[in-house]
Amino acid sequence: MSVDPSLPVSSWSSRLSIVIPAYNEEDGIVPTLQGLREALPDAEIIVVDDGSADRTGERAATVAGITVLRQPFNRGYGAALKAGMRAAGRDYVAWFDADNEHKVENLIAMARRLDSERVVAVIGQRPAGTSRFRTFGKAIIRALAWSLGLGAGTDLNCGLRVFRRDVILPYLSLLPNRYSASMTSTMIMIQRDYPVAFEPVTTRPRIGTSKVVLGDGLQALILVMRMIMLFAPLRVFLPVGALLAGVGLAYGLILALAHGLGFPSLSVVLVLAGLILVLQGFIADQISYMRLSQLESAGRDRDGA
């Protein structure tokens, strides 16, 4: 569905909260806020100063009409986003970085789509990165996600995205406190079968230095598996269990029928191990279903209260 570019910003901007996590971003925070305030004067803008050691919070407070929340110490990108989303008071909530890398026009296009289309989230899709190391790491994460059945666009962890707040709020406890919050929220939307749109976006050179380190990439790989185990454990248990049982059965039949050696103990062990894994998968799937249902029920009760 195409978005009407003539649709005035004022028709939806008063329903939008923009959450900006900021850690040691004193150079980029003011131009970021000024651009947002000028283009979206009716939107609620919340800066979460995540225990910065510089003057990020003080500089953000100099821009009129900005709400600044201060974390007492650095808790992480995801923790700052969660604090901002809990404080947000509008129907739509956007994530926007504090380093002036994101473009306001991209955010406007995405918020328009959220307002006019039957989707619960619009997620930015950046072009291939300039860093070969980061591009390679993201490709590994994306390949792992796709191999496990997660068709989630080409950019799992773009930080520019817009949600219907009542949909994302029940899942805040699942978002990690570090940099994988973006990827986790994408996986949540996809795995829970919510209608999601992907929007191509471009970026500017960031102001300041990136806070992402090698360890964050390794944590992201682990997180992909953790999210699969939470949302779709059968995608892991069923293939592995079926493979073990199949190999064991084939090996046993070959020895028993072709060579007349009987059904070997190793085959029995492999078949039983495979069946046990499949059964564990079904148990894990039931636990996953109950946990996610409780989260969604708690979210509905909170909104209705």
Please compute the mean of the pLDDT values over residues 114-136 and round it to a whole number: 77
Please compute the mean of the pLDDT values over residues 148-165 and round it to a whole number: 77
In the chain, the N- to C-terminal Cα span, in Å, equals 35
Q: Answer whether residue 234 shows pLDDT above 90.
A: no
Q: Answer whether residue 268 shows pLDDT above 80.
A: yes
Rounded to 10°, the helix 181-191/214-231 angle is 20
Q: Round to whole Å and give the CA distance between 222 and 39.
A: 39
**Model confidence pLDDT, tens digit, residues 169-191:** 999 988 888 777 888 888 888 87
Structure-token pair, residue 168: 């994302």
Written as one letter, the residue type at 107 is: L
Q: What is the SS3 assignment for 53? A: coil
Report the half-sphere exposure of 203 (CA within 13 A, side-chain side): 20
pLDDT computed for residue 231 by the predictor: 76
3-state secondary structure 193-221: CCCEEEEECCECCCCCCCCCCHHHHHHHH
Please compute the mean of the pLDDT values over residues 14-25 and round it to a whole number: 96
**Cross-strand pairs, 121:** 163, 196
pLDDT computed for residue 305 by the predictor: 47
Residues 6+ apart with CB under 8 A from 267: 248, 249, 251, 252, 255
Closest CA to 190 of 217, 161, 222: 161
H or E stretch covering 222: helix 214-231
Structure-token pair, residue 238: 């069923």
235 vs 15, residue with greater confidence: 15
pLDDT computed for residue 46 by the predictor: 98
